[in-house]
């Protein structure tokens, strides 16, 4: 073997502004793929480490595999990677890395190679061969130039291979902002890809711009992995978990048959409402949270996106969904093409009418592989912010869009909505009296800090 002692590095300290409790499942897949062909492999998640990376590198370390999934904390990530000793090879992978191959090579001198696309098989080949042009999907430095091997074929989701959680040295507890609960969370994959074709969405594309075919694991394989998981809550990282409701039903039957008592959060489509028989089984099996993409409260926008439903159909679906105590987290986009400010603000009334529990709001973005870019080429009144990909218009600036987003959030979370969420959390046994007291105490402390900070500014 070319390498024997490997560190798999998650190089962020904060990563996302509010949520940081999700394990780096992609990196864990890579570590598990190579654990049987190296002498040692360690996963270092810097979000959970007080010491710098140098404290975990010893004389035997000869390879560091870095997961660069988010374009956040650029300077910290750059400094961390550049701090790795020169005698150790550094390979970077992940979605953001694949999208920014040349930029990362230019900005971070210590990077020796970048994996483009899925990393498990490429990592195994690197361990065995070293950095080589014979490895498909690998870009690397050679004699002062950047060499790109040919693209690698996208493989279906593996059935009987999943992360070895014995490699994990951390407990991932659900938390928001500075508040951390005692509820442990894990991630897993039941499928890869997405069979739908929403115009605004690039999740169905890999970072190389190639459409990924939807593939699904055997239900028996999914449940076998569940048995290895300690966490109370499992989030499925699938782009869409409910593409085949007969498959979902089989998974539920096995969960119930095996007596597995956990809670599950999934990405779903509104069409799940067409199968109330399966929804009943999902509820019995422990499914708790549905993440649903609605995107707009306007029919003209839904039609232009190829969403496949109207606002009337959404209302019809929620007539069914409200019969079940699932927690419905619904995504909406602020700044859809040709929507006015008032139409964006309609999200609040529409969501209350439906019975939505929580909102996920984002400003419209046209990323590298987004079909939106072609649409916007024909519009002189719309613009894309460099770097972020956020879309704005001559009529509504990016600053105004951000304010609309804040206004929708502030108006949506009324007392009845909050009470409904608390009730559902209690029904799902995730909210006990002790946890309620902790939340209240945390909220009061946070409010007091804000008041103190405001007074300090005024006195100054």
pLDDT at 368 over 70: yes
| pLDDT computed for residue 10 by the predictor | 96
Query: E-assigned strands of 3-61?
Result: 5-10, 40-45
List, in sequence order, the alpha helices (H) in 199-323.
219-226, 245-258, 276-285, 299-304, 311-321
pLDDT at residue 177, as a whole number:
64
pTM of the model: 0.89
What is the distance between the alpha carbons of residues 210 and 193, in angstroms, rounded to a whole number?
Answer: 11
pLDDT (tens digit per residue) in 40-76: 999 999 999 988 898 999 999 999 999 999 888 999 9
- For residues 259-287, average pLDDT: 97
Helix axes 276-285, 311-321, angle to 10 degrees: 50
Given a cut of 90, whether residue 153 has pLDDT beyond it is no
Q: Choose between 341 and 95: higher pLDDT.
A: 341
Tokens (6 digits) for 397: 């600036």
Neighbours of 217 (CB within 10 A): 25
- The residue among 85, 101, 89 whose CA lies nearest residue 65 is 89
- Count helices and strands in the chain by DSSP H and E runs: 15, 18
Higher pLDDT, 109 or 17: 109
Write out pLDDT tens, residues 208-232. 667 778 899 999 999 999 999 999 9
Find, among 308, 294, 304, 426, the residue nearest to 351 by Cα: 294
What is the model's pLDDT at position 440?
53
Side-chain-facing half-sphere of 177: CA atoms under 13 Å:
6
Query: Would you state the pLDDT for residue 175?
Result: 73
Asked whether the beta carbons of 240 and 190 are under 8 A apart, the reply is no
Alpha-carbon span 171 to 329, nearest angstrom: 25
Whole-number average pLDDT of the chain: 89
pLDDT tens track for 403-455: 999 999 999 999 999 999 989 999 998 876 565 555 555 555 554 555 455 45
What confidence category does residue 200 fall into, taking pLDDT thresholds of 50, 70 and 90? low
In this predicted structure, which of 250-259, 290-299, 361-370 has the lowest mean pLDDT?
A: 361-370
Which tops the pLDDT comparison, 14 or 311?
A: 311
């Amino acid at each position: 073997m070319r390498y024997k002692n490997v560190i798999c590095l998650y190089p962020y300290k904060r990563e996302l502004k509010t949520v940081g409790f999700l394990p780096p499942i992609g990196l864990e897949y890579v570590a598990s793929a190579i654990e049987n062909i190296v002498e040692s492999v360690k996963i270092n998640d810097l979000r959970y480490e007080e010491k710098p990376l140098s404290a975990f590198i010893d004389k035997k370390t000869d390879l560091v595999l870095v997961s660069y999934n988010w374009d956040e904390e650029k300077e910290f990530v750059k400094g961390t990677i550049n701090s790795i000793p020169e005698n150790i090879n550094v390979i970077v992978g992940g979605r953001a890395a694949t999208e920014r191959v040349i930029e990362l090579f230019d900005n971070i001198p210590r990077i020796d190679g970048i994996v483009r696309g899925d990393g498990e098989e490429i990592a195994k080949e690197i361990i065995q061969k070293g950095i080589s042009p014979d490895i498909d999907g690998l870009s690397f430095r050679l004699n002062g130039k950047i060499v790109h091997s040919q693209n690698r074929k996208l493989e279906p989701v593996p059935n009987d291979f999943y992360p070895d959680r014995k490699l994990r040295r951390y407990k991932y507890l659900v938390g928001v902002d500075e508040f951390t609960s005692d509820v442990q969370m894990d991630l897993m994959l039941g499928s890869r890809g997405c069979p739908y074709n929403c115009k605004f969405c690039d999740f169905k594309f890999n970072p190389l711009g190639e459409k990924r075919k939807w593939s699904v694991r055997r239900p028996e394989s999914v449940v076998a992995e569940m048995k290895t998981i300690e966490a109370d809550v499992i989030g499925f990282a699938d782009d869409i978990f409910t593409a085949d409701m007969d498959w979902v039903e089989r998974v539920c039957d096995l969960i119930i048959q095996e007596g597995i008592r956990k809670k599950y959060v999934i990405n779903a489509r509104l069409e799940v409402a067409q199968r109330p028989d399966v929804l009943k089984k999902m509820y019995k099996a422990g499914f708790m949270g549905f993440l649903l993409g609605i995107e707009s409260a306007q029919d003209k926008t839904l039609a232009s996106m190829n969403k496949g439903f109207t606002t009337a159909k959404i209302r019809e679906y929620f007539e069914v969904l409200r019969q079940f105590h699932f927690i419905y987290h619904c995504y909406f986009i602020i700044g859809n093409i040709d929507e006015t400010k008032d139409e964006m603000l309609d999200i609040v009334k529409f969501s209350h009418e439906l019975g939505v529990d929580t909102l996920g709001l984002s400003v419209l973005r046209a990323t590298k592989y987004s079909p939106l870019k072609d649409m916007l080429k024909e519009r002189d009144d719309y613009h894309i912010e460099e770097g972020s990909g956020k879309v704005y218009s001559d009529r509504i600036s990016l600053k105004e869009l951000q304010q609309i987003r804040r206004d929708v959030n502030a108006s949506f979370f009324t007392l009845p909505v909050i009470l409904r969420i608390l009730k559902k959390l209690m029904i799902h046994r995730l909210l006990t009296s002790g946890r309620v007291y902790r939340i209240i105490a945390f909220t009061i402390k946070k409010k007091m800090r804000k008041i103190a900070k405001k007074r300090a500014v005024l006195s100054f």
